[in-house]
């Protein structure tokens, strides 16, 4: 089992192509490619932390079922109106605004929005976020997992660890 994190797919959001200069001609191509890239690295038994702004409208809820993995959600600004209680009950989705987890002994704070400081930031805890679409400078032990920053793939825990370890050199 592999653990992944990703954010800011904006499935169904046509304007994000122009806004983030994504290499797609239309929203259908973007949705299909994001799902294809996701499934190329994520297997059914893998855990995926979606860290906000995954879908753009209610019609895109069905696209999540096409994406491999056991899904966990930290909500972004755009997700709140679509992850309503009806969908949460049907899909057994748990939602969080900020979530503290530990992976292989590493404490991590997940939040869609980048934080200047987070619980444990002075004690080696990591912060994994989205929202910036790969356009912001990161403080120490902080990683943006927006798909725009990872060639439109989810980032594995090992890839995130490698990126943080490079900061220490």
Q: Kindly report the pTM of this predicted structure.
A: 0.91
Kind and range of the H or E element at 61?
A: helix 61-64
State the pLDDT confidence band at 78, using cuts at 50, 70 and 90: confident
Residue-wise pLDDT tens digits, 88-140: 554 445 567 899 999 999 999 999 999 999 999 999 999 999 999 988 888 89
Position 115 scores a pLDDT of: 94
Number of domains in the chain: 1
116: domain CATH number is 3.60.21.10
Return the minimum-mean-pLDDT range out of 19-33, 69-83, 105-119, 155-169.
69-83
23: domain range? 3-167
- Which of 72, 49, 84, 75 is CA-nearest to residue 131? 75
């Amino acid at each position: 089992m592999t653990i992944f994190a990703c954010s800011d797919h904006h499935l169904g959001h046509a304007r994000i192509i122009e806004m983030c200069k994504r290499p797609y001609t239309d929203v259908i191509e973007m949705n299909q490619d994001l799902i294809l890239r996701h499934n190329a690295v994520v297997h059914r038994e893998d855990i995926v932390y979606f860290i906000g702004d995954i879908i753009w409208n209610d019609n895109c809820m069905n696209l999540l079922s096409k994406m491999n993995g056991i899904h966990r959600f930290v909500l972004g600004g755009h997700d709140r109106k679509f992850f309503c209680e009806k969908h949460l009950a049907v899909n057994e989705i748990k939602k969080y605004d900020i979530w503290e987890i530990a992976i292989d002994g590493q404490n991590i704070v997940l939040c869609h929005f980048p934080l200047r400081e987070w619980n444990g930031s002075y004690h080696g805890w990591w912060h994994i976020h989205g929202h910036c679409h790969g356009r912001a400078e990161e403080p120490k032990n902080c990683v943006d997992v927006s798909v725009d920053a990872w060639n439109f793939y989810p980032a594995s825990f090992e890839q995130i660890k490698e990126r943080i370890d490079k900061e220490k050199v």
